[in-house]
Structure 1
Amino acid sequence: MAADGLWNWSVAARLDPDLVRGALAGALEHPVHDLVPGDALLCDVYHVGGDFPTIVDVYLAPSEVAEETIASAVAVRLRAAVLLPDDTLDPSRYVLAEPDGTLRPVHVDERETDDGPERRKVRPCTGCEPGCARSRFKPTPTPERPAAA
């Protein structure tokens, strides 16, 4: 398993770290451990406040699978929504992997604390913010902003 990245997710439930690592290992079909070097993927799980209180940092994430694919599979296994960064430069925009596996763009209020980032008030991305329409995760159409033809 080739590794080269960092995944940083937030989960919409306060979950036991071993449960999160188990869901990640199942989705990847590869061992996952706490920050203990070895043959396994490294995953740090800790808790903060907010609507997404479980933070998941995956170190040396595999390069041969799409992050959103694995986040979606983990959300299904955990039965909890997972937030992951999207492909825009908008710091409030994320991709939400829902417990049924659906991926959709959202905006979130974020506040940095001593314990880590607290994320609250998830709302659909409607494309009103600059750069959202250029993402591969297309905004949700609304009556005021119908989808492009």
Structure 2
Amino acid sequence: MTELWNWRIDGGAPVEVYPAMAEALGRVVMPLAVADPARLPAYAVVCDVWEAPGAYGTVVDCYGVPERLPELPAIAALARVLGRNCLMRDDTLDAGRHLLVAPDGTIRPVHFDVVETDDGEVLSDQRLCTEADPRCRGWSRCHRSRWAPDSVGPALAAA
């Protein structure tokens, strides 16, 4: 178990997210605050869920996720179970670029303005990553991603 996932959800209280995570992942999901490492089942996923300011203000951190549990289908399943859009970081290392995962399984790259605050990152001004935006053309980091501007793809677990 070495994976760490950091996701954001468009709304949803933590009390709603934990059971949705368990259903989506098909595993026991333990809140970080009550997880006892000595008594954790081998298949459990430990999560911390909290509310942050800004867009996609429900933040989910999953710790010690088994390597054989793929992240993209997992977040797609969560989006479907919750009926809400979810975000995950993309592969560009650009703090403002994320993958938007819709409840229907559609995945597309998006950008946000990001401001660091005492409460963490605050996201605002969501916009699609598209060739129509001059910031996404040419030599931008967007073209280094497997999710190029204007790309739309399915998540395997979302069907």
Q: What's the CA shift for 1:62?
A: 2.3
**Number of the residue aligned with 2:143:** 133
In the TM superposition, 1:1-149 aligns within 5 A as 3-13=1-11, 15-35=12-32, 36-37=35-36, 38-39=40-41, 40-126=44-130, 127-128=136-137, 130-140=140-150
Tell me the distance in 2 between the aligned counterparts of 1:131 and 1:114. Answer: 27
Higher helix share: 2
Inter-partner Cα distance in structure 1 for 2:129 and 2:15: 32
Structure 2, unaligned stretches of length 5 or more?
Answer: 131-135, 152-159
User: For 2:58 and 2:105, how far apart are their aligned partners in 1?
Assistant: 18
TM-score normalised over the length of structure 1: 0.85
Structure 2 letter corresponding to 1:121: D
Segments of 5+ residues of structure 1 without an aligned counterpart are 142-149
More displaced 10-residue stretch of structure 1: 39-48 or 114-123: 114-123
Instruction: Give the number of aligned pairs.
Output: 138
SS, match of residue 10 in structure 1 = strand
| Identity %, equivalent residues | 41
Q: CA deviation at 1:137?
A: 1.4
